[in-house]
Amino acid sequence: MTSPMQRALALARDALGTTSPNPTVGAVLVMDGQVVGEGVTQPPPGPHAEVVALRQAGERARGATLYVTLEPCSHHGRTPPCTQSLIEKGVAQVHMAVLDPNPLVAGKGQATLEEAGVGAFLGEGAEQAQQLYEAHARYITTGLPLVVAKFAMSLDGKIATATGHSQWITGEETRHHSNRLRGVYDAILVGIETALADDPLLTYRDSSGTPHKRQPLRVVVDSTGRMPPTAKLLAQPGKTLVATARIPPEQQALLERAGAEVVALPGEDGRVDLHALLRLLGQREVTSVIVEGGSTLLGALFDQRLVDKVMAFVAPIIVGGGQAPTPVGGVGIHHMAEALALQRVTVERIGDDLLVIGYCPKA
């Protein structure tokens, strides 16, 4: 039988990507061993998960126990504080998986509940909840989005053949999994070489191939303004941002007429300033970015230590070819001792492919 906290975590997990910039929270109210209310955070400016569960429970909330994936808020934001609602409705105990890293909360919610005589307990489901809120934690404490480098490669580390053919390296299950990831993140980031070579749609689609209503922001890093106004991604639902260092005015006008927003973020090296791009995305309340290539962009992000997490799909195939491209370009390192060693590494199987997940150490 699923525990109330596991049910709350499942509710939050299923709704990931729908509540940004708010964290996605799951809540379950239990009275005498029976679930009397449950909820998940609604898209802004909708109510938080605790309030949804309280409304469903009604009078049955009095004396009940709440299981919630994140510490209830204790401050006025887009909505009133959830702690006050819990106290007013007479909830007896609150079991929270993790504290909210938001400096406006960060333990204050737990303290407020305890001061009101509500039992407040911490830690059940903490490891799963920390994974749910890794983007929220990064964004709320730094103002920057979580940057996830995602790529698929063969067992010998190739992303295409020497002739540039790349469809398909991984199996169908992995491709479906990759598509679902687009529904979780606020933005998809690609380099201009990928945009030109693949002419991708960069959309989040259902099983029939139809784009979902909510689409992540598409971001193309195009330092010299080579993005064609006929690119397929410009005709898709959702928004596209083209980040450039320099672009002819007539080319910018064509892209804007095709529906793109063009932003100039020149760096000292004549290319897009990636630090500035991430700051801009953070200012626009983009809490997470998944980078889907190519090797030049990934290399630059790794060289500048801007990647937070890696998701590498490895297919059991051998491509070969000395000129066949690899997933990460850039300057790289000179000595193996300088290699970026991922932490908290996990490996899972998706069909015949492997998914390796790891986190980049922070200075």
Q: Are strands 353-359 and 343-350 parallel, antiparallel or unpaired?
A: antiparallel
Coil, strand or helix at 150 = strand
- Return the C-alpha torsion angle 307, 313, 319, 325, nearest 10: -20
Q: State the Cα–Cα distance between residues 67 and 121, nearest whole angstrom.
A: 9
28: which residues sit within 8 A by CB, 6+ positions away? 4, 5, 7, 8, 11, 35, 37, 38, 53, 66, 67, 68
127 assigned to active site: no
- Number of C-alpha atoms within 13 angstroms, CB side, residue 314? 13
Q: Among 50, 71, 124, 134, which one carries the catalytic annotation? A: 50
Yes or no: say if 321 and 162 are a contact pair by the CB < 8 Å rule.
yes
Closest CA to 288 of 176, 189, 145: 145
Q: State the Cα–Cα distance between residues 205 and 42, nearest whole angstrom.
A: 21
- Number of C-alpha atoms within 13 angstroms, CB side, residue 73? 21
Coil, strand or helix at 344 = strand
DSSP β-bridge partners for residue 188: 218, 290
Give the residue numbers annotated as catalytic, written as ranges: 50
